[in-house]
Structure formats: C-alpha cells, structure tokens
C-alpha cells in the first residue's frame, strides 16, 4: 500500500496561466519521499549527521494532465526497488481527491557518504536496518 500526502497548489507554483510549472513537481516528489522515509523511522537529519546522504541519480517523469492553482494534489509513493546503495521510488499524482492521474514518476536515489576529511561524496552501502525498514 503506498503512502500518500496532499499538497496544496499555491500561486507561486504556477505559470501566468495558472498551470503548475513542470519543475515544481520535483519539489513535490521530494516532499513525498521525505515523508515516506520519516514514517519508516529513517530520519534524514540523523543520516546527514553521521555522514550519509541521498542524491538523486535519475528522474523519469511523465505529465498526463495539468494541475492548476488552488488544486490539492495527492501523491502516492512506494518503493519499486532497494539495493545495497540505492532506492527507486514510484510516484503517482492525482488531483482534487479524484482518480484523475496528473503525473507519474520514478526517482532513483543513491546513498553516498563523506568523512570529516573528505570533500567529495562516494557511494556508501545503506545500513542493514535501513534496507529492512524500506523493504517492510
């Protein structure tokens, strides 16, 4: 069963015609993924404090219908795949509590890490507990 969040569309999210600007969807998806992880006890701030970060390595998004100013969009988020160092999320976006699908997306994140002496991020295996929480 996918997790869901609702997001209200504000004027700042739209173009001059009142249609949601395509780039804003990436921010909406980020919020959905963050909530998904938090509900599973995966605290991004805690990971950052220990030197583990998520980076987006691939986004595949399709726009089916426009969302507009004042709409409430519902984002359904679920895990499509988990590997030792990546997570692929599947997102379906619907408008105003209907089954009218406005967008679908797949987003792949990789885990990377740094140490206090490193400045560039390198691939890092996820902790076993985190993988288990994602697969549950």
Count of other CB atoms within 10 angstroms of residue 70: 12
Count of other CB atoms within 10 angstroms of residue 31: 13
Count of other CB atoms within 10 angstroms of residue 59: 12
Q: From the candidates 3, 6, 15, 71, which is the catalytic residue?
A: 15
Find where tokens 């509900």 sit: 39
| 46 has catalytic annotation | no
Give me the active site residues, please.
15
């Amino acid at each position: 069963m996918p997790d869901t969040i609702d997001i209200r569309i504000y004027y700042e999210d739209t173009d001059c015609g009142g249609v949601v600007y395509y780039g804003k969807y990436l921010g909406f998806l980020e919020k959905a993924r963050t909530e998904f992880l938090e509900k599973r006890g995966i605290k991004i701030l805690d990971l950052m404090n220990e030197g583990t970060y998520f980076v987006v390595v691939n986004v595949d998004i399709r726009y089916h219908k426009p969302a507009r100013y004042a709409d409430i969009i519902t984002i359904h988020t679920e895990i499509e795949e988990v590997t030792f160092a990546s997570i692929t999320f599947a997102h379906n976006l619907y408008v105003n509590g209907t089954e009218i699908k406005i967008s679908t997306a797949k987003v792949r994140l990789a885990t990377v890490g740094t140490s206090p002496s490193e400045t560039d991020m390198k691939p890092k295996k996820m902790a076993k507990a985190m993988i288990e929480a994602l697969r549950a």
